[in-house]
Amino acid sequence: MKLNAHNFKENAKKALKDNDLQASLQKLGTGFPLKRLAAMERLPEFEDLRDQARDIKDHTLRHLDFYLEQFESRVVETGGKVHWARDIKDGRKIVYEICEAVGAKTITKGKSMIGEEMAINEYLEEKGLIPIETDLGEYIIQLRNEPPSHIIAPAIHLRKSHVEEAFRKTHTELPKDRNLDAPEDLLVEARTMLRKKFIAADVGITGANFMVAETGSTVIVTNEGNGDLTQTLPRIHIVLCSIEKVVPTLEDCTTLLRVLARSATGQEQSVYTTFSTGPRGETDPDGPDEFHVVILDNGRSRMLGHDTHDMLRCIRCSACINHCPVYQSVGGHAYGSIYPGPMGSVLTPALYGLEKSCDLPNASTMCGKCEEVCPVRIPIPKMLRSWRKKQWEDGPVPTMQRLAMTWWAWWALRPKLYHRVAGWKMRIMGFMGRKSGHIKAFPLKNGWTENRDFPAPEGKTFQQRWSEKGGRRT
């Protein structure tokens, strides 16, 4: 998708007025978080597992080159191929060349955030190929020509009626009088359409939640099983992933899987957890003839050892998104990036540049809920703050904001003068709000009184009253 993060404020304004979206968000705000809580309560060692998960990721990141090379060797040993993509352009080219070499026309796709990052569908379409999303949510937004609004529930912003509308518009064989009221009817309709595509596909593209270095396997978790059909039916299987997804061993992978589904949807395990190792072997009943893994960097190696290093621990569970009061208010599209919410506000500037996503690190109340729920304990507020620091140092801060802060600091560093002037000001404001206890508006428009009353001060400041009372001073 095209980055639209610089329009965050306007996007958010629109989102707040979109009633359908607000209704969908209302459900999300309680749905996933409550399920996560219940899952945690069923697993007393959850907190210890989080520590282990963090440590596994930290260890892997410290030896990233080693594990990536080990992974590559294992993939090659099992008959597959690894392709290194420095950036999005590289990645797209690699995927297209694989498709071209086998004369592919139709491509089925499982859900992949790296695919979204590469905007691989648009690219393949430009080249005359037909990519078809097979994850139900992704399929729906593909029909609607929209980006995902959530990293694990891409169509969470939509209501049932939107889905029906999309099917009626694009499924030309669908009889007009077929009733699609029940969610099951919609599912059957999607399944009927997708089955045909699975069988016809030449290439299957999936993402990967993990790459296991010791075995050369890639791992996906899904709830629909579409990912399995995507990777076993076509002749060619392409896995799209990124450098930080590697883990040393199957054992490590299991630990991460135990925190992943619980943090995401509150499930103990996703319905399907699928390990893919190499192409179809001689004794295998099915599987692809070719197995390709495309590993994308796209700015991630630049994060190593820098302020956002810890963000590379992220396992894309979406817990931080689900719990974020800002996301719950404006939804994913407002962020203008495929990675929304708190994790996106750290990641988007790192991948696409801070100047293109200035608002994102600021679009947080710093409430800390994201860090509280993150299974790999990523200190998200700290990293948002480090982006803000960079913004402050390098320039892209609105002049008024910079002036206001500098002005405040100037006063705050001159206590004597500050107390004297504050004394006068509070008297005036106290007088303004003496009856109602608040001030409705100030002469200059400001963000506070747009939406709230400004509580009036009592009158004299504490410092004045303490002096008058003869309270103890240093």
Partner 1 sequence: MSENEKNVGLFVTCLVDLFRPTVAFAAVKLMEDAGCSICVPERQTCCGQPAYNSGDNEDAKAMAQMVIEEFEQFDYVVAPSGSCAAMIRVHYPELFADCPDWLTRAQNLSTKTYELLTFLSDVLHVDKVEAALDRTATYHDSCSGLRELGIKQQPRKLLDSVEGLELVEAEQAERCCGFGGTFCLKFSDISSRITDDKCDDLLKTGAQTVLGGDLGCLMNIAGRMTRRGETVEVRHIAEVLADMCDEVPPISQGKG
Do 253 and 210 form a contact (C-beta atoms < 8 A)? yes
For residue 2, state whether it binds partner 1 (rule: CB under 8 A).
Answer: no
Residue 238 CA to residue 151 CA, distance in Å, equals 20
For residue 320, give the nearest of 385, 383, 371 by alpha carbon: 371
Question: Is residue 221 part of the contact set for ligand SF4 (CB under 6 A)?
Answer: no
Q: Contact letters (x/-) for partner 1, 400-439, by CB under 8 A?
A: -x---xx-xx-xxx-xx-xx--x--xx-------xxxxx-
What is the C-alpha separation between 117 and 418, in angstroms, rounded? 50
343 contributes a contact to ligand SF4 by CB under 6 A: yes
Contact present, 32 and 266 (Cβ < 8 Å): yes
Residues with Cβ within 8 Å of residue 127, at least 6 apart in sequence: 96, 100
The reply on whether position 393 binds partner 1 by CB under 8 A is yes
Q: What minimum distance in Å lies between the beta carbon of 317 and ligand SF4? A: 4
Which segment (7-15, 313-321, 399-407, 458-466) binds ligand SF4 by CB under 6 A?
313-321
Torsion angle defined by CA atoms of residues 149, 153, 155 and 158, in that order, rounded to the nearest 10 degrees: -100
Q: At 392, is the secondary structure helix, strand, or coil?
A: helix
Residue 316 as a binder of ligand SF4 (CB under 6 A): the answer is yes
Q: Which of 191, 325, 420, 442 binds partner 1 (CB under 8 A)?
A: 325
Of 419, 388, 421, residue with least CA distance to 405? 388
* Site membership for ligand SF4, residue 319 (CB under 6 A): yes
Q: Does 27 bind partner 1 (CB under 8 A)?
A: no
41 is a contact residue toward partner 1 (CB under 8 A): no
C-alpha to C-alpha distance for 354 and 376, rounded to whole angstroms: 24
- Which stretch in 93-101, 170-178, 213-221, 316-324 sits in contact with ligand SF4 by CB under 6 A? 316-324
How far is Cα 70 from Cα 64, in angstroms, rounded to an integer?
10
What does 19 interact with, of ligand SF4, partner 1, none (CB < 5 to 8 A by kind)?
none
Tell me the window of 57-65, 77-85, 89-97, 398-406 that interacts with partner 1 (CB under 8 A).
Answer: 398-406
273 vs 225: CA distance, rounded Å: 9
Pattern of binders to ligand SF4 over 373-392, x per CB under 6 A? xxxx-x--------------
114 binds ligand SF4 (CB under 6 A): no
- Residue 280, interface with partner 1 (CB under 8 A)? no
Q: Is 356 in the site for ligand SF4 (CB under 6 A)?
A: no
- Residue matched to tokens 């892209």: 396
Give residues 233-292 in contact with ligand SF4 (rule: CB under 6 A): 263
3-class state of residue 397 by DSSP: coil
User: Is residue 349 a contact point for ligand SF4 (CB under 6 A)?
Assistant: no
Determine which helix (DSSP H) or strand (DSSP E) holds 194, and give its type and residue range.
helix 183-200
Q: Which residues bind ligand SF4 (CB under 6 A)?
A: 263, 314-320, 343, 373-376, 378
